[in-house]
Amino acid sequence: MSLQERVKEKVDCIYQRLRTHVTNIGSSTGSQRHVFFVFGASGDLAKKKIYPTLWWLYRDGFIPENTCFIGYARSELTVEKIFQNAAKYMKVQDDEREKYEQFIKINSYVHGSYDKAEDFERLNKETNKISGQATAHRFFYLALPPSVYGNVSEMISKHCRPESPGFLRLIVEKPFGKDLESSNKLSEHLNKFYSEEELYRIDHYLGKEMVQNIIVLRFSNKIFSRVWNRDSIAAVNIIFKEDIGTQGRGGYFDEFGIIRDVIQNHLMQILSIVAMEKPRSTTGEDIRDEKVKVLRCIAPIKIEDVVIGQYIGDKDSTDPERQKGYLDDDGVPKDSRTPTYAQVVLFINNERWDGVPFILRAGKALNEKKAEIRIQFRDVPGGMFDEELTEHGVKGTLARDELVIRVQPNEAIYLKVNTKRPGEMGFSIEGTELDLTYNERYQGVKLPDAYERLILDVFTGSKINFVRSDELQEAWRIVDPILAEIDKKKVPVIPYKFGAVGLREAFAGAAMHGYIYTGTYVWKDERSGSIGSPSQDRERSKSFGKEKK
């Protein structure tokens, strides 16, 4: 049996067990029913992610028996309209049509306000009627703008709780607040109406295959445990890039900006898993305890460690979308300074990481869609190969090893190493990769979408991949001061063209902190000094080291 077949067989077997487990939830208590609510059913997230995910879980047999779905929003919609809007994201195959129709039939829609008691009382009555059971377990997904979380969560708790023994789970989308203060307020508010056990704060990056893989990679391989620290690692770079702009979501985005939208949550979550100590076990509480501990060791970001930018349209592009800058998006004020690109550098003040820069970089409207973690190792001491042709054909600059975990697209783990240039006499050195690209190695193995894993976790009651309130508080504490500085216009907003690789100033900042860029991109414009080649970066990082001392 080939490796692929073996992996597939194991995965299928695990899925079968999970399927049996999920579909039987509640069956020991007779015909226990479940109701899954989508609040904000008319919205973007609901159409692109939540409804498609519910369909895929249903199609694959991961929805408990006797479940029904109820959409809720203010718009006067119908189930038919919701499914029309979401059609292009559903990916229904011809032979799945019948099942898809069955799925649509167990959906309903109720419209009403987000703050009136009578609307929620009506929703409760409708729910009892639709599910036929006042004790049905209820799952509420808030696919809503954060501005309405407060009212909606209160109304649900007051008017839509199931009767005992039914339980309730409330799934809250990020951003959880706008800053430390509003996040704490939201937490206090939620704590008034819900127990921590009932709350599921979703960060969909925690549902991604390669993010989940970090824990296994780090703690099940002896080869990494010895080097995973300041003695061997020079810098850690966590990168998020999108090749689309705000695409009409500017109204929402402008209130938040890229630090709140991506860095405070997705990238900070990744950082905490990359940097945490080994948890006692794989249970949710042990893992989250370690994540919080490491976040507590991070000081708030300093103004000198931040670079922000905002995209402008590329007038030379033939694509009308790329011709539009951020300020052209509907709902964005013409004088907005909201960053669509940011780089922040963090330091973890503990024995393992002292002095190692964690460079978090995120941007919209760039040249590609990509999320990856780059663990860059220190230079090899001794200079034994100084006379050999090494990095990029330059004598005496041995490329650093780098472990890259590509979260998306095309999941991969590869280790950049130096090898003897094949076939050559002597010791000429060539950079290469030890490459585990998933779609080559594990052909035919399906990697579920992040939302599939997370909604499945909600059904099974697993909280490993959800954010605890203390994690949230720590993440806000770290970014809060810099957000205030940005709001006070203390940080310059650097324009970049739609489709750019990134901001040159950000790359220079990373180099100053010791990260050596080993890619091949050469900056064309001369806006801010020259970086872009490994040898130049090496010089910068060396001089930075001297300045620091």
Ligand X SMILES: O=C1O[C@H](COP(=O)(O)O)[C@@H](O)[C@H](O)[C@H]1O
Active site residues: 266
DSSP per-residue string spanning 257-316: HHIIIIIIIIIHHHHHHHHPPPPSSSSHHHHHHHHHHHHHTBPPPPGGGEEEEEEE--TT
Which 348-377 residues touch ligand X, going by CB under 6 A? 371
* C-alpha to C-alpha distance for 180 and 474, rounded to whole angstroms: 9
Burial class of 202 by CB neighbour count within 10 A (0 to 12, 13 to 18, 19+): buried
Burial class of 315 by CB neighbour count within 10 A (0 to 12, 13 to 18, 19+): exposed
**Nearer to ligand NDP among residue 108 and residue 133 (C-beta):** 108
Least spacing, CB of residue 160 vs ligand X, in Å:
27
Binding flag, residue 67, ligand NDP (CB under 6 A): no
Least spacing, CB of residue 548 vs ligand X, in Å:
34
Joined tokens for residue 386: 């100084």
* C-alpha to C-alpha distance for 520 and 532, rounded to whole angstroms: 8
Least spacing, CB of residue 251 vs ligand NDP, in Å:
7
Distances (CA, A) of 327 to 210, 218, 332, 362: 34, 42, 6, 19
Check: CB of residue 250 under 8 Å from CB of residue 330: yes
Binding flag, residue 73, ligand NDP (CB under 6 A): yes
Check: CB of residue 495 under 8 Å from CB of residue 310: yes
**Nearer to ligand X among residue 126 and residue 209 (C-beta):** 209
Binding flag, residue 452, ligand X (CB under 6 A): no
Residue from the set 119, 261, 391, 401 that interacts with ligand X by CB under 6 A? 261
By a kind-dependent CB cut-off of 5 to 8 A, residue 74 interacts, out of ligand X, ligand NDP, none, with ligand NDP
Least spacing, CB of residue 71 vs ligand X, in Å:
21
Least spacing, CB of residue 129 vs ligand X, in Å:
35
Q: Where are the beta strands (DSSP E) in 207-251?
A: 233-241
Which 122-151 residues touch ligand NDP, going by CB under 6 A? 143-148
The one segment of 38-46, 239-247, 323-331, 484-492 that binds ligand NDP by CB under 6 A: 38-46
Check: CB of residue 117 under 8 Å from CB of residue 79: no
Residue from the set 7, 23, 43, 99 that interacts with ligand NDP by CB under 6 A? 43
* C-alpha to C-alpha distance for 342 and 332, rounded to whole angstroms: 18
By a kind-dependent CB cut-off of 5 to 8 A, residue 45 interacts, out of ligand X, ligand NDP, none, with ligand NDP
**Rounded (5°) CA angle 272-276-277:** 170
By a kind-dependent CB cut-off of 5 to 8 A, residue 145 interacts, out of ligand X, ligand NDP, none, with ligand NDP
Residue nearest to ligand X (CB): 261
**Nearer to ligand X among residue 262 and residue 389 (C-beta):** 262
**Nearer to ligand X among residue 371 and residue 486 (C-beta):** 371
* C-alpha to C-alpha distance for 243 and 368, rounded to whole angstroms: 5
Binding flag, residue 454, ligand NDP (CB under 6 A): no
Amino acid in the structure at residue 442: Y
* C-alpha to C-alpha distance for 62 and 15, rounded to whole angstroms: 9
**Nearer to ligand NDP among residue 75 and residue 84 (C-beta):** 75
Chain centroid to Cα 18, Å, comes to 24
**Nearer to ligand X among residue 192 and residue 369 (C-beta):** 369
Check: CB of residue 531 under 8 Å from CB of residue 511: yes
Residues facing 71 on adjacent strands: 38, 109
* C-alpha to C-alpha distance for 364 and 515, rounded to whole angstroms: 22
Least spacing, CB of residue 208 vs ligand NDP, in Å:
13
* C-alpha to C-alpha distance for 123 and 548, rounded to whole angstroms: 62
Least spacing, CB of residue 265 vs ligand X, in Å:
7
Residue from the set 7, 19, 44, 128 that interacts with ligand NDP by CB under 6 A? 44
The one segment of 26-34, 40-48, 279-287, 338-346 that binds ligand NDP by CB under 6 A: 40-48
By a kind-dependent CB cut-off of 5 to 8 A, residue 40 interacts, out of ligand X, ligand NDP, none, with ligand NDP
Least spacing, CB of residue 76 vs ligand NDP, in Å:
9
Region of 227 on the Ramachandran plot (φ > 0 left; ψ -120 to 50 alpha; else beta): alpha
Number of shown-chain residues binding ligand NDP (CB under 6 A): 21
**Nearer to ligand X among residue 248 and residue 492 (C-beta):** 248
**Nearer to ligand NDP among residue 177 and residue 325 (C-beta):** 177
**Nearer to ligand NDP among residue 345 and residue 362 (C-beta):** 362
SS3 51: helix
Least spacing, CB of residue 90 vs ligand X, in Å:
17
By a kind-dependent CB cut-off of 5 to 8 A, residue 42 interacts, out of ligand X, ligand NDP, none, with ligand NDP
Which 175-194 residues touch ligand NDP, going by CB under 6 A? 175
End-to-end CA distance of the chain: 57
Joined tokens for residue 549: 């001392």
Residue nearest to ligand NDP (CB): 43
Binding flag, residue 40, ligand NDP (CB under 6 A): yes
| DSSP collapsed to 3 states, 11-64 | HHHHHHHHHHHHHCCCHHHCCCCEEEEEECCCCHHHHHHHHHHHHHHHHCCCCC
Which is nearest to 270 in space by CA: 230, 240, 302, 232?
240
Which 200-229 residues touch ligand X, going by CB under 6 A? 204
Footprint of ligand NDP (CB under 6 A): 40, 42-46, 48, 73-75, 114, 143-148, 173-175, 252
Q: By the criterion CB under 6 A, which residues form the site for ligand X?
A: 204, 242, 261-262, 371
